[in-house]
Amino acid sequence: MTVYAIIGGTGLTQLEGLTIRQSLSVETPYGAPSADVQIGDYAGREVLFLARHGHPHRLPPHQVNYRANLWALKQAGAQAVLAVNAVGGIHAAMGTGHFCVPHQLIDYTSGRQHTYFADDLEAVTHIDFSYPYTESLRQQLIAALAAEGCGYSSHGVYACTQGPRLETVAEIARLERDGCDIVGMTGMPEAALARELELDYACLALVVNPAAGKSTAVITMAEIEQALHDGMGKVKSTLARVLMAG
């Protein structure tokens, strides 16, 4: 039976309903992960949970130790990772409260520790990253969203920007020209690191605001927090369906 790990992003620093049996403080060759790995029961299944930004939410996207996080989950026994991400909507279909299960991504970040294959190598290693998300895991998320009756898109291109600031109108226009549908700050290098560790990986993205220039209103944290509050119940029920089916 597959051992699932959930990485919670903004708005999901703890998984309500998770009966915690153990909290692991995992030491890694890459430093400390964002938080302890929680092991417990959720939706009738054993699951691992890690808060990407720490608990409480304290780590900005560019300072998350992605290498330590994925390594810690692998060491704790994870085989598949369900990553929850809050994103901005670029494509017209990606309105606030909409879900997207992206099939592709473009990395616009810089300066992040993005690979395990960096030091003291016996040989250069290249991973195939043509399709960054595990298709079978994507399909599980899509089926769960459909069963929940959520508004969702089964495909999308995730643009990962550096943060922590939000993007300019011109930057979003560029991302749109590049073919991006949603924009976030934490999708990379997380997805690539999972691939390097041979972990199945898929993203459940919740749109929490229109991207810059996609609305006449000013983007506010209050708006984003409200969207997170409204959407987290559906996030949790969707994850529960995946776990029960898997």
Q: Are 106 and 180 in contact (CB under 8 A)?
A: yes
Q: What residues does each domain of the chain span?
A: 4-245
Confirm or deny that 168 is annotated as ligand binding: no
Q: Are 214 and 31 in contact (CB under 8 A)?
A: no
Confirm or deny that 210 is annotated as ligand binding: yes
pLDDT digits (tens, 9 = 90+) for 111-141: 999 999 887 777 778 899 999 999 999 999 9
* Nearest Cα to Cα of residue 150 among 30, 238, 242, 19: 238
Confirm or deny that 185 is annotated as ligand binding: yes
pLDDT digits (tens, 9 = 90+) for 195-214: 999 999 999 999 999 999 99
**Which helix (H) or strand (E) segment is 234 a member of?**
helix 221-245
In this prediction, residue 105 carries a pLDDT of 98
Cβ-based neighbours of 149, under 8 Å, separated by 6 or more: none
Confirm or deny that 195 is annotated as ligand binding: no
Confirm or deny that 52 is annotated as ligand binding: yes
In this prediction, residue 225 carries a pLDDT of 86
pLDDT digits (tens, 9 = 90+) for 46-93: 899 999 988 777 899 999 999 999 999 999 999 999 999 999 999 999
What burial class does residue 25 get, using C-beta atoms within 10 Å of its C-beta: 0-12 exposed, 13-18 middle, 19+ buried? exposed
Cβ-based neighbours of 36, under 8 Å, separated by 6 or more: 23, 24, 25, 26
Q: How many CB atoms lie within 10 A of CB 165?
A: 9
Lowest mean pLDDT among 12-16, 20-24, 159-163: 12-16
In this prediction, residue 1 carries a pLDDT of 81
What is 4-245's CATH number?
3.40.50.1580
DSSP state of 33: -
Q: How confident is the model at residue 15 (pLDDT cuts 50, 70, 90)?
A: low
Report the alpha-carbon distance of residue 108 to residue 125 in Å, rounded: 22
State the virtual CA torsion across 156, 162, 165, 169 in degrees, nearest 10: -50
Confirm or deny that 209 is annotated as ligand binding: yes
